[in-house]
Every structure is written in structure tokens, then in C-alpha cells.
Amino acid sequence: MADDATYPVEPHTKIERSHMSVELHFNNQRRDAAPGVSLFDFAESLGINVPTSCRKQGKCKECVVEVTEGMDCLSARVPAEKHLKGGFRLSCSCCVVKDAGVVRCHTMRRGEMRIERGALHLPGGNQKLKLEPAVTRDGDRILLDGEEIARSTGPIHGLAMDLGTTTVVLRLLNLETGEVIADASFENPQRFGGSDVMSRIHYDTEEGGHLLQRTLAGYLTHAIEEFPVDPKTIYEMVVAGNSTMRDMFFRLNVYSIGQSPYRSITELEMADGHRPTTSLAEPAKKLLLPLHPKARVYGLPIISGHVGADAAACMLAVDLANEERLIAIMDIGTNTELILGDKNKIFAASCPAGPAFEGGKISCGMPGLPGAIEKIKIADDGSIQVGVIGDVPAEGICGSGLMDLLGELLRTNQINHLGRFEHGEDKIVLDVKSDSPVYFTESDINELAQAKGANVAGLHVIFHDYGIRFENLEVFYLAGGFGRHLNVESSKRIGLIPNIDDSKILQVGNASIEGACIALLSRTKRNELENLVKKVVHCRLEAHPDFFNYFVEGCQFNPVESSHARQSVS
Ligand code: FES
């Protein structure tokens, strides 16, 4: 079949032709593939949609797949793939060249996120919000900040985005009613540039050409075009995300965020008096988005350093500007954000947890998308029951599943407090039904222990510096898609969150997208946030003398208790 193949395989690539075939596993679907088949064509034959804008011409760079096994069965890299390293390939540009072996690969995952419609326990939930978006109507005139940008009697839409290192969440709103029209999510396709912010900064600086931004814009375009509205009726977009993701999306130089003292270029410019705020605004067109030609993209302000616009959005979501109680927000992710305080005094910190909580660097890890094991119970007879998102065959395990699993292994004494298996094996298999069994190893536990250690250290430092103990808190918000689905009991047992009264812990879902929606619907709230971020004290963990001790302690699987707090320093 390869005789008339159109994929750009290098001319000297030797394709071994025979009647034999390679066992190819694509997104956990298995089929035999004969030499000459491109991974893109193979995916199409299985009904798998690979993102593309160039129809297999090697130009759009969107068809990236990750090959986890059997790279030696595939053709050599072509020039169009020179930006890709490790197991990442352009699926249109590589084909099977051997007639025996096993290849495993998957697309950057796309899926429907379980979005919590409306606020759950958020005092700043948008049900109470007075609608006053920046985009308004005067007859058939559509106005942005009072300036006419279009003429239409059709609907006025806005888009909110939570741009995470691992997962991207979009929410489409009707700006005249505040109604949620649709939402979407997908794995951040920039993963080929590394799984954490530091690798992405390095990649973006080395490669140039805004390749990561262009790839993301391609994915966003597909997602936006799939919404049930004309993209040209979207007149404004609000972006929340950590400092690196946000700045990269706005095509800014992110080099300074990767170097001590870890500052966004917007912070540096503000300190020099060249800009009044760290928030950003650009035409959608410049960011390669298919919205209305005069649409604006507004990036929420960042707090400081790696404490970014996602943390700022969380503050808006819980209405911290008007909060009398002492609250904490913990948004666990590749970078865990911590906010502590009330309306008068607010501290913030960012913990470099790495990608393990979102499934990165874990043997069978994946984001919380369909196919991910999210719940685990170990029965008395030792059998393992798993709950899978989307009721489809298990493909991997996501963060909340990993925490559940650690909690269950600890409860049933299968691991000790140092994270070592007690049964002498180095892994356990969780799901034997699928073609590619999902398993969990001791080195996975190690990755998670280190990610947890960074979070625990962050908790100790911020509470210590603020001058309070965990039990002084009135509300502990566990934010983020990951935090929403955590089992609180397991999380306290393994020492992921402080060991405080359950009644104080509120799992509020993706507060960052909630905050972005609030900013999209209310100019007053947007301005309130612009002022609030300037009041926040940034705790720099790396500068704290006890950080390393807290980290080492936090790597163990024990409940987290206050032990080092001192009296109030306010
Ligand atoms: S489909 Fe466009 S680069 Fe592969």
C-alpha cells in the first residue's frame, strides 16, 4: 500500500516489505500494521482523530504523537520533525519500516473534561455576579470598552481559558446572559517541549519561532471551531494560567521566568515603570485565534514569579477581596499554588511539584480525561477495584487515582511510610482487562513522594511566615480539577494536605476557570483583581532556610501536622 503513499518519508528510508506486520497500539487500540503505513494513516483507519491543519503535509506540526515503545520499528526523523525530541514524532511523517515488533503510541489527548457548571462552594460564584462585561451592545453596534468593533444583531460570546502546563480548559459564555454555552478540554500539546515549565522555558528560548504557541493555537482553533457557535461571535477571551504558560501564549520572552529571581518580563517592565500592570491584552488575530477579527484577548495579572494568573483567578473565584475569614487555597498541579489570608493580609507561594500529580513521569500516568483511572479501592481479599473516567477501557491513571492508590496501599500496609512495597515486588498491575495493562511501580511512588514533598514544604513555609497554624484556618479550598476529585481521607493519610477537620475542607473544582469567567463577565471584578494582586506578599520558597528540611519530611507518607508555627507576625 505504500507505493502511492503521500507522507513525507525520507527517500533513503528502507521499508522492509513482507506479509508480516508490527503490533501497533494506538491510543490503547491494537491492530497489526504492515510496513509502509504512516502512524497518521493507521490512526485514521482506527477512527482516531489526529489534529491537523495541513492534511499530512508535514507543515502544521499539529499531528504530534508520543511513541512510548518501538521507536526502532519506525522510519528515521525527517527535517519537519527537527523540533521534536525523545519519543515525540509527527504522525504524518513517520511510518512503520519493520515487519515485526511492537509499537505503542498515543496522540496528545483530547477529551471532554468534567466541568463543574456554576460555582460549587465558591462565595464568588457567578450566580450572584452582576453582568457587566467589557463587550456590550447598543442596538446593532457591538462595543468593546465602549468602542464600536462590529455591527451585528446576533449573540455576543466570550471565551475563558485556564491554560495549564498539562491541561487546557475552555469555557464559552454568552456575555449577555452569563450562560455557559459549552466547554472543552485537552491535554496541552506543548508537552513535546517538556512536561514542566522549566523545560518549556528552555525549549522556547532555544528553538525560537514561538513553536509552542503556534502548536497550541492550532489545537485551540480546532476546539473553538467545534463549539456550537460561529467563532466570529466571540469578541473577548480571558486567559488564566501560570506565569510561563500565560506569557508564552502571548508570545512574550519567557527566559527571565526561568532564571533567579524568576520574574515574568511583565513584572520587570512594571518595576521599571514601563507598564502599570502585569495583565496583558492583545488582538486575537495576533495570537492566531479564529475569533472575531477585532476580538481582544486579556491575560489576567500575575501575582509574582511563578505565582501566576491562575492563582490570581482563584482569588477572584473565592472573592478573597471581600473575605473576612482566614482561608487557604491550594491548587495542586504541575506547579502547586498556595494562597493564604483574608481581605487584609494575603501571602502566596508556588511549589514546583513537577508533572507527577498530573500523570507526568508516571509509567501509566495520564491527565484526568476519559480512559483515566480516577478511583481505586483495595478490597479485604486484596483485589483492586478501579473507577475509570468516561466508562471506557482503562488507558492510564490520573492524579486523583494516584493519590487514591497511595492511600489504599498505605491503608492496607502494602507500602511503608517511605513508599517502599512491602511485598518485595517492584510493581503492581491495576487493570488486567485492557491490551496494555495499567501498572504502578516503586519509581512512580518516588516521583509522587518528591512532588508531595515540594507541596508540603510550601505549606509549612507559607503558614510559618504568615504566623499561624493549620488548625487556625477557617476554610481550606482544594482547587483544581485534580483537587476536586481527590479522596480527602486518602489525601490526609498520605500527607498531601494538612490534617485538619474535614468540615473546613472544600473541594471547589477548577477555581481558575471560574475566576477567568468572572473576569470575563464583570469589569468591576477584573479591576478589583488588578488591585488585589498588588497587595499579595510572595513567599519565595527557594529562599527559605528550612525549605529543604520540610521537603525531606514531606517526601514521607505521614499526615501533615503543624509543628513549626510561631506567633502572629502581622
Ligand atoms: S498533519 Fe500537519 S504536520 Fe502532520
DSSP conformation letters of 163-196: E-SSEEEEEEEETTT--EEEEEEEE-GGGGG-SS
Higher pLDDT, 364 or 233: 233
Rounded to the nearest integer, the mean pLDDT of the chain is 87
Lowest mean pLDDT among 85-89, 235-239, 445-449, 453-457: 85-89
Cβ atoms < 10 Å from Cβ of 450? 17
Instruction: Give mean pLDDT, residues 221-246.
Output: 95
d(CA 511, CA 312): 10
Determine how β-strand 336-341 pairs with β-strand 346-351. antiparallel
Helix (H) or strand (E) holding 520, with range, is helix 511-521
pLDDT tens-digit series, residues 178-194: 999 998 888 898 988 88
SS3 state at 64: strand
The grid coordinates listed for 208 are 525560537
> Whose alpha carbon is nearest atom 3 of ligand 1?
58
pLDDT score at 36: 87
How does DSSP classify residue 304? Answer: B
- Among 7, 88, 92, 214, which is best to mutate for testing ligand 1, by the most ligand atoms less than 8 A from CB? 92
- The dihedral region occupied by 256, where left means phi > 0, alpha psi between -120 and 50, and beta the remainder, is alpha
Could you tell me the distance, in angstroms and rounded to a whole number, from the CA of residue 66 to the centre of ligand 1?
14
pLDDT score at 123: 54
- Ligand 1 pocket by C-beta < 6 Å: which residues? 52, 54, 56-63, 90, 92
Measured from the CA of 61, which atom of ligand 1 is nearest? 3
Could you tell me the distance, in angstroms and rounded to a whole number, from the CA of residue 284 to the centre of ligand 1?
23
Q: Which amino acid is at 558?
A: N
d(CA 398, CA 396): 7
Task: Please tell me the pTM assigned to this model.
Answer: 0.83
d(CA 286, CA 295): 10
- Among 61, 84, 88, which is best to mutate for testing ligand 1, by the most ligand atoms less than 8 A from CB? 61
- Among 54, 82, 214, which is best to mutate for testing ligand 1, by the most ligand atoms less than 8 A from CB? 54
Instruction: Give mean pLDDT, residues 394-407.
Output: 89
Contacts of 79 (CB under 8 A, 6+ apart): none
Measured from the CA of 80, which atom of ligand 1 is nearest? 3
Whether residue 245 is predicted with pLDDT greater than 60 in this model: the reply is yes
pLDDT score at 7: 36
pLDDT score at 292: 97
> Whose alpha carbon is nearest atom 1 of ligand 1?
56
List, as one string, the DSSP characters of 308-329.
-HHHHHHHHHTTGGG--S-EEE
The answer to whether the peptide bond before residue 437 is cis (omega within 30 degrees of 0) is: no
Contacts of 473 (CB under 8 A, 6+ apart): 326, 327, 328, 498, 500, 504
Could you tell me the distance, in angstroms and rounded to a whole number, from the CA of residue 97 to the centre of ligand 1?
19
> Whose alpha carbon is nearest atom 2 of ligand 1?
60
pLDDT score at 481: 76
Chain centroid, CA 50 distance in Å: 20
d(CA 429, CA 418): 20
Measured from the CA of 50, which atom of ligand 1 is nearest? 1
Cβ atoms < 10 Å from Cβ of 541? 23
Measured from the CA of 91, which atom of ligand 1 is nearest? 4
d(CA 397, CA 386): 10
